[in-house]
Amino acid sequence: MSGFSSASIERVKEAADIVEIVSAYTDLRRSGVRFTGLCPFHDERSPSFSVNPQEKLYHCFGCGVGGDVIKFVEEKEGLPFPDAVEALADRYGVELEREQEDPRAQEQRRVRTRLGELLKRTAGFYESFLRDAPQASRARDYLAARGLRPEVLAEFGVGCAPGTWDSVLVRGQQAGYSLEEIEAAGLILRSQKGRGHYDRFRSRIVFPIRDARGRVEGFGARALLPDQKPKYVNSPEGPLYSKRRTLYGIDRARPAIAKGGRALLVEGYTDVLACHQAGIRDAVAVMGTAITPEQVKLLSGYAEEAVMALDADRAGREAMLRAQGVAGGRRLRLRVVRMPAGKDPADLLAEGDGASATAFREAIEKAEELPVFHVRTLLDEGDLSSPAGRDRALDEVVEVIAAMSETITREELIREVADRLDADPGLVARRIAGAGRGSGRSRSPQQQQPQSPLAEAGGEPQAADRPARQRTLSARETRELALLAMCVAWPAEGRDYLERLRDEHFSSPVAARACRWIRDHPEEPTRGLPDGDEPLLAYVTQVAMRAQRERGSPEAMEINFLELEVAAADDQIESVQSGGGEPPVELQRRRAELAERIARAHG
Ligand SMILES: [Zn+2]
């Protein structure tokens, strides 16, 4: 349900250059009509990733991923389907048509578009003011003192709001916007006394806050004068901006996050800038210290892991621990970077000799898993000098460790706790086993989650989410795939087999569905696949690409078909036997006959 007409989605696919798009992630070489390269979805040494520029399809013979050009952008750039379509349409200059939408939604979209244009225009004004205006020298000096270079300021569109009361107000009106619109965009305030309006941001460094696609949604503004209060002002919540949904820098960081599967969470705007300037391209900032469920949802679309490099003060530590509860239901692994007290990433990266920057990078790589960080924090803060104090600390850490899945990390942590508490590791382990069985005591937030996020992240990806990925096919699955591919490669002979194949011939529902789909769409099976049915899309794509790679032969089709008949007969025999019965004689005779025909077919 993208809201776009299927004709315009087809036009986007036509216009998109899949080789260009994939090449941003892996080097492709031409090989006949196709391009091949190392798979950007799994680690490999020899290329099994294949791109078909005519069909606009990709497929990996190693890990089984595959799909069309839109699917690639969804997966690799971490965009939901409608956004991936829009991003490609923007890039290749295709105009998208929307399907009929109700008048209210249409009106809302019109308002949002207009406000978005006003914000973009205003961001441009702030940016040029910072770059050129003599009055902005203090802002330029501040940013330079933080070690931020003009290129990174330009990349993020950093600007400066002048000290005047009506620069933005007047410019907005001159551009044809009404007072109501400028107010709805969060750019002006109504004065208390009179009926006048004035600019919301004055004498401030302004950071445009953009959504994942780079559209300005609002601004964060830092005070420029020493006595100016408050230090930070943000756009108000409105039709475009919502603090809870926003991650500063997500538009610039998205490709790196999707590529590496990791996001680095920092606190401030300048931390994000400093990280990106230093080549740490997956950094984004949470707006405020608390991480919201909306932000976790946004991140878990792109990343498997979020590494938090937040302030090491008490509030910062508590925010990180609360994040565990927030992330619990999502498949997002959380780790914590130990930051030196009173330092933020921008400080560390700006320090002259580069030693702190190196230490910061190492700290990111060595970031502790959140429960480990939690346990160490409890031990650091507990009074371990008396037996009673050590008992209290043990009570607290037992709760945290009991919620962890059983890993080597957990085992090592248990030894570390025993060591620090001067206790027998057996005692600690017994206490944890007791807590794990549920002692009826109140449980900490992360334990209320159905499953620890660490366990989820560490476990096998759920089959429904990631079909056929990272898994080798069984002999039967390979035959199913090969036969369907040959049916596509040899349409005349294939039609006969497609008619004879039944669901029982296949070992998985998706393969059976793919067979039915191909039977109904034999000419171009990859065209018009239903949106949202990813397993079917992946399977049919795989079939289509295999059809081009290895055409097989009518003889091979016959053998594969007979083998699938045998497999279906075996299934039937097995199900009779598992019910305690004896398979009917005809079934056994048929099984034997099939085996004989296979032997003959092999010649
Ligand atoms: Zn792969």
CB 205 within 8 A of CB 130: yes
142 has a pLDDT exceeding 90: yes
Tokens standing for residue 294: 């909306």
Nearest Cα residue to 183 out of 197, 194, 162: 197
Tokens read off for 276: 């990106």
Band of pLDDT at residue 220, cut at 50, 70 and 90: very high
Q: Is 241 left (phi over 0), alpha (psi -120 to 50) or beta?
A: beta
- Inform me whether the pLDDT recorded for 329 exceeds 70: no
Would the pTM of this model clear 0.85, i.e. be above it?
no
| Residue-wise pLDDT tens digits, 459-480 | 333 333 333 333 556 778 888 9
Task: Tell whether the model's pLDDT for residue 387 goes beyond 70.
Answer: yes
DSSP3 helix / strand / coil % (the chain, rounded to 5): 55, 10, 35
Residue 281 has pLDDT above 90, yes or no: yes
Ligand 1 centroid vs 29 CA: distance in angstroms? 16
Residue-wise DSSP of 543-582: HHHHHHH----HHHHHHHHHHHHHHHHHHHHHHHHHTT--
Q: Buried (b) or exposed (e) across 50-62, using 16+ Cβ within 10 A?
A: bbbbebbbbbbbb
Distance 41 CA to ligand 1 centre (A): 5
- Identify whether the C-beta of residue 310 lies closer than 8 Å to the C-beta of residue 189: no
The lowest-confidence range among 131-145, 500-514, 533-547 is 533-547
- CA–centroid distance, 473 to ligand 1, in Å, is 14
Find the 221 Cα to ligand 1 centroid distance in Å. 44
Q: How far away, in angstroms, is 25 Cα from ligand 1 center? A: 13
In what helix (H) or strand (E) does residue 352 lie, and over which residues does it extend?
Answer: none
Find the 61 Cα to ligand 1 centroid distance in Å: 7
520 Cα to the center of ligand 1, angstroms: 29
Compute the distance from residue 481 Cα to the ligand 1 centre, in Å. 17
**Cα gap 26→37, rounded to integer Å:** 7
C-alpha of residue 131 to centroid of ligand 1, in Å: 45
Distance CA 491, CA 485 (A): 10
Contacts of 435 (CB under 8 A, 6+ apart): 398, 399, 402, 441
Ligand 1 centroid distance, CA of 64 (Å):
6
- What proportion of the chain, given as a percentage, has pLDDT over 90? 38
Q: How far is the CA of 43 from the centre of ligand 1 (A)?
A: 7
Query: Which H helix or E strand runs over 58?
Result: strand 57-60
Q: Is 440 left (phi over 0), alpha (psi -120 to 50) or beta?
A: left
Mean pLDDT of the chain: 84
Report pLDDT digits (tens) over 498-528.
999 999 999 888 899 999 999 988 888 888 8
The CA 39 to ligand 1 mean position distance, Å, reads 4
How far, in whole angstroms, is CA 508 from its chain's centroid? 28
Greater model confidence, 206 or 329: 206
Higher pLDDT, 374 or 316: 374
How many whole angstroms from 469 Cα to the centroid of ligand 1?
A: 8
How far, in Å, CA of 459 to CA of 457, rounded?
Answer: 6
pLDDT > 80? residue 496: yes
Name the band, by pLDDT with cuts 50, 70 and 90, for residue 78: confident
Ligand 1 center–CA 505 separation, angstroms = 27
Cβ atoms 222, 201 nearer than 8 A: no
Beta-carbon contacts of residue 212 (< 8 Å; ≥ 6 apart): 78, 79, 83, 250, 251, 254, 298
Lowest mean pLDDT among 107-116, 254-263, 575-584: 575-584
**Would you say residue 458 has pLDDT above 50?**
no
Distance 550 CA to ligand 1 centre (A): 19
What is the 305 CA–ligand 1 centroid distance (Å)? 20
Work out whether strand 333-336 and strand 305-308 pair parallel, antiparallel, or are unpaired: parallel
Distance 72 CA to ligand 1 centre (A): 12
- Cα 59 to averaged position of ligand 1 atoms, centre (Å): 8
For ligand 1, the distance from its centroid to the CA atom of residue 47, given in whole angstroms, is 9
Other Cβ atoms less than 10 A from the Cβ of 3: the count is 15
Determine the distance separating the centroid of ligand 1 and the alpha carbon of 471, expressed in angstroms.
10
pLDDT recorded at residue 472: 55
Q: What is the pLDDT of residues 406-421, one digit of tens each?
A: 788 888 999 999 999 9
- How far apart (Å, rounded) are the C-alpha atoms in residues 163 and 184? 22
Q: Report the pLDDT value the prediction gives residue 140, as an integer from 0 to 100.
A: 97
Give CA–CA dist 56/502, Å, rounded: 30
Among the listed residues 285, 347, 178, 119, the one whose alpha carbon sits nearest the alpha carbon of residue 127: 119
Residue 597 has a pLDDT of 83
Query: How close is the Cα of 87 to the center of ligand 1, in Å?
Result: 24
* Segment 572-581, tens digit of pLDDT: 888 888 877 8
Question: What's the whole-number mean pLDDT along residues 372-396?
Answer: 89
**Residue 179 reports pLDDT greater than 80:** yes
Express as a percent the part of the chain with pLDDT over 70.
91
Angle at which helices 534-549 and 509-520 pack, to 10 degrees? 70
Ligand 1 centroid – CA 48 distance (Å) = 7
The per-residue pLDDT for 527 is 82
Q: 60 C-alpha vs ligand 1 centroid, how far in Å?
A: 5
Distance in Å, CA 283 to ligand 1 centroid = 26
Distance 62 CA to ligand 1 centre (A): 5
14 φ, ψ (degrees, to nearest 5): -60, -45
Span from the CA of 255 to the centroid of ligand 1 (angstroms): 18
Contact 220, 287 (CB under 8 A): yes
Lowest-pLDDT range, 4-8, 66-70, 280-284, 296-300?
296-300
Distance in Å, CA 40 to ligand 1 centroid = 7
Average of pLDDT values for 73-92?
85
Cα 259 to averaged position of ligand 1 atoms, centre (Å): 13
Residues paired with residue 207 on neighbouring β-strands, in sequence order: 220
Eight-class DSSP state of 244: G
DSSP symbol at 440 = S
Whether 320 contacts 265, CB under 8 Å: no
Helix axes 250-260, 269-277, angle to 10 degrees: 50
How many Å lie between the centroid of ligand 1 and the Cα of residue 296? Answer: 27
The pLDDT of 275-293, averaged and rounded, is 88
d(CA 303, CA 281): 13
Longest dimension (CA), the chain: 98
Mean pLDDT of 533-562: 82
